[in-house]
Structure 1
Amino acid sequence: MSKTKPIGVNFEELESQCLPHLSVDCVVFGFHDNQLKVLLLKSKFIDEWSLPGGFVGKTETVEEAATRVLKERTGLGEIFLNQFHIFSDPKRSNPGLKPENMKKAGVKLTNYEWLGQRFLSVGFYALVEFSKVDPQPDVFSQTCEWKGIDEVETLMMDHRQILDKALETMRLQLRYQPIGYNLLPEKYTMPELQKLYETILGRELDRRNFQRKILSYKILKRLPERRLGVAHKAPYLYRFDLEKYNQALLDGLSGDW
């Protein structure tokens, strides 16, 4: 049986299918037009945006639940996924999940209080190639869209805190692991790779130092092709050496940016 089979299609069985008090929230990052973007949902019930998330089935691990949620929202089955924090504020609850709102949306439950209980949430962040994602809303949302990180203001509940914690974790990861394979197309230029790192870090990097350091890790392959149609001298295209990239994920990298 597929690990990504949807849970809760029959809402009358939701309480029997899922664990009480436990959920997952996913921060999905993409990179497009030199912008770091995050996938957000617009609520049907209140004028707020939220991160993709869901409940944990009684026969699932939290990792399987997060993978299922992400497949339902993005259409992708193979996603770089990293668990980074547990959010456990005693006052955590979703103000939109009230019985009157559920009934308007056609969600019928025997016990509406089940949705309004306190849920501890396991946070995951995912790195995906923007062009491969087909955003799909869930039953509680009217739309699912990409938003630039700089465009995001307030989010539902503690989701802004979850997003900020995911960014902090990803920035720390850059100190000891490579990032880029899951965010960039197969072929890219050195300036495009540098822009990705600068966008994640939120600061500029010296061009020569960046190139020298990233090449020293030997995780890139320079291709004979160049990027055509640019204003300046056509830069060479690169791609990741996947075997060495995966080994660097295991062994780690040295030094900071």
Structure 2
Amino acid sequence: MNKDQHTSEGKEVDWTGFLPGIAIDCVMVGYNEKQLKVLILEYKETGFFALPGGFIRRNENLDVAAQRVLQKRTGLEGIQLNQFHTFGSLNRYAPEPMRKIMKKNGLQPAEDHFLLQRFVSTAYYALVNFEQAEPIADFLSDSCRWYDINQLPKLLWDHRDIIQKALESLRKNIDDAAVGLTLLDEEYTMRELRTLYETILDKEINRSSFHRKMVNSGRLERVGKKSTGKAHRSPYLYKFVSN
């Protein structure tokens, strides 16, 4: 299954089992070729794009619902989710795009349809291994695929604002998130870790001070040297220490 694969989950859903007016939006962040990536859905035959999201079952905890959404869109389980903001502005209520999306899927929604109501959305971000994730579209979408965070398509509703807020939260908590644990290989050089930090923070970092900070943090273990064929130039490899 490739990174752009899409599947269908079926036709109309029985929405009576979900809480009305409450939604979840997930910013799933990957890292590939020194670029941050975000998973984006493209709705069928509309040219509309949005973040993956979902709703909360009546007998389900909020965090459990968010994990379910992440698993359905990536095939991954046990990924750490970070709740960072709740979005509830009146300006985010715009039912017309969803009405068009549903009609393109052969549905004729009533005015009071579950998907056309106003939603307050709790947003999460998750750091996702790009190579392990298998993007899967929902039943209203043609595709779920990675986009460079700096080259996003035009997004519906307030989803671009959600991504920006997620990025701000990730930057603020970058040292607590142990970003390399998920976004890099199990073993990596200090330069690779610094490049990841620079990509997330969108700025250059002093090499010496970063190396000192990481070594003194007690979160890294040196595990040997990277094989380059030139012993005197081989950089050290590190991995995160398990807590």
Q: Compute the displacement of 1:178 (Å).
A: 3.5
Q: Compute the displacement of 1:183 (Å).
A: 1.5
Deviation digits for residues 119-142 of structure 1 (CA, Å, limit 9, x no counterpart):
000000001111110011111211
Q: Does residue 1:95 correspond to 2:87, yes or no?
A: no
SS state at 1:138 partner:
coil
- 2:56 matched residue in structure 1: 56
Q: Compute the displacement of 1:103 (Å).
A: 4.2
Structure 1: gaps spanning 5 or more residues? 1-7, 244-257
Deviation digits for residues 217-256 of structure 1 (CA, Å, limit 9, x no counterpart):
01111112314379x933221111111xxxxxxxxxxxxx
Q: Distance in 2 between matches of 1:112 and 1:22?
A: 15
Q: Distance in 2 between matches of 1:174 and 1:26?
A: 18
Amino acid at match of 2:35: Q
Q: 2:25–2:54: 8 Å Cα contact kept in structure 1?
A: yes
Q: Compute the displacement of 1:96 (Å).
A: 2.5
Relative to the length of structure 1, the TM-score reads: 0.83
- 1:31 matched residue in structure 2: 31
- 1:120 matched residue in structure 2: 120
- 2:83 matched residue in structure 1: 83
Q: Which deviates the most, 150-159 or 113-122?
A: 150-159
Q: 2:43–2:101: 8 Å Cα contact kept in structure 1?
A: no
Indicate the structure whose relative CO is greater, using CA pairs within 8 Å and at least 6 residues apart. Answer: 2
Q: Does residue 1:171 correspond to 2:171, yes or no?
A: yes
Q: 1:80–1:182: 8 Å Cα contact kept in structure 2?
A: no
**Inter-CA distance 114–201: structure 2 relative to 1 (3 Å threshold):** same
Amino acid at match of 2:63: E
Structure 2: gaps spanning 5 or more residues? 1-8
Q: 2:101–2:140: 8 Å Cα contact kept in structure 1?
A: no
Q: Compute the displacement of 1:106 (Å).
A: 4.0
Q: Distance in 2 between matches of 1:112 and 1:135?
A: 31
SS state at 2:97 partner:
coil
Q: Distance in 1 between matches of 2:47 and 2:136?
A: 18
Q: Distance in 2 between matches of 1:12 and 1:178?
A: 38
**Inter-CA distance 108–173: structure 2 relative to 1 (3 Å threshold):** same
Q: 1:227–1:236: 8 Å Cα contact kept in structure 2?
A: no
Q: 2:221–2:241: 8 Å Cα contact kept in structure 1?
A: yes
Q: Distance in 2 between matches of 1:233 and 1:205?
A: 22
Amino acid at match of 1:27: V
Amino acid at match of 1:152: L
Q: Compute the displacement of 1:107 (Å).
A: 4.5
Equivalent residues in 2 for 1:66-81, closer than 5 Å: 66-81=66-81
Number of residue-to-residue matches in the alignment: 233
**Inter-CA distance 142–153: structure 2 relative to 1 (3 Å threshold):** closer
Q: Which deviates the most, 111-120 or 128-137?
A: 111-120
* Identity among equivalent pairs (%): 41
Q: Distance in 1 between matches of 2:47 and 2:129?
A: 28
Q: Compute the displacement of 1:168 (Å).
A: 0.4
Relative to the length of structure 2, the TM-score reads: 0.88
**Inter-CA distance 12–176: structure 2 relative to 1 (3 Å threshold):** closer
Q: Which deviates the most, 139-148 or 163-172?
A: 139-148
Q: 2:46–2:104: 8 Å Cα contact kept in structure 1?
A: no
